Amino acid sequence: MAASLDGYIDDATTERLLLSNDEDFDRVDEVRAGVDAILVGANTIRADNPRLMVRSDDRREKRIADGQPPTPVKVTISSGGELDPSAKFFATGEVDKIVYTTQAAAWDLNARLGAVATIVDLGDSVTAEALLDDLANRGVERLMVEGGGTIHTLFLSSGVVDELHLVFAPFFVGDAAAPSFVNSADFPQDPNHRMQLVETRQIGDCVLLRYLPQRS
């Protein structure tokens, strides 16, 4: 997650707000190169149109040499089906694209995206646990979750996060209409669930905080 000092991951305009810097973008690329799959929400696909690919030629070549696809599997969650099959998420990268959804939305998503992605029906609702179980059955051992706020909330409130990377940019957004890091939810409140801070790092004018949540 990259956010402003007041915890917003974007502003309320239609233009994408760049919170990070080139040095941190390269750090994120390094993390991407070390995972099996990357997940973003449908809102992020619509708003930012990300490719979600490893950018570095050297890192892609190393993945190939290690017997992996050049870029990780792409994963998203959609309950409404309003995704464009020509979005960069689906149109770039010779890797699997997986869309997790509910039984109610599965038919529409198959009709819209069945030619460019695998649609997985998880029943009445999409839970982090069911999604992770399905990915594990597909050989995904390490998943990178890149947001946005609804997705962060789903995984953090479910208690399934092993590692949390927070990057803060040195400015404020100051707009309550802007999307925040997480939404209201029932997060673990027991003092025994305090996260362990394992790294702080200055990255240009930003700072990285890396935490290990205490898993029950």
pLDDT tens per residue, range 91-109: 999 999 999 999 999 999 9
Range of the domain at 8: 2-212
Based on the structure, what is the number of domains in the chain? 1
d(Cα 34, Cα 7) in Å, to the nearest integer?
Answer: 27
Is residue 191 scored above 80 in pLDDT? Answer: no
How confident is the model at residue 214, as a pLDDT?
A: 73
What CATH number is given to the structural domain containing 127?
3.40.430.10
Residue 187 pLDDT > 90 = no
Cα atoms in the 13 Å half-sphere on the side-chain side of 81: 14
Distances (CA, A) of 67 to 28, 62, 64, 70, 143: 21, 9, 5, 9, 18
- What is the value of pTM for the model shown? 0.94
Residue 57 main-chain phi, psi, to 5 deg: -60, -40
pLDDT score of 215: 64
* Rounded Cα gap, residues 41 and 152, in angstroms: 9
The pLDDT score that the predictor gives to residue 166 is 98
20-74 pLDDT, tens digit per residue, is 999 999 999 999 999 999 999 999 999 899 999 999 999 999 999 999 999 999 9
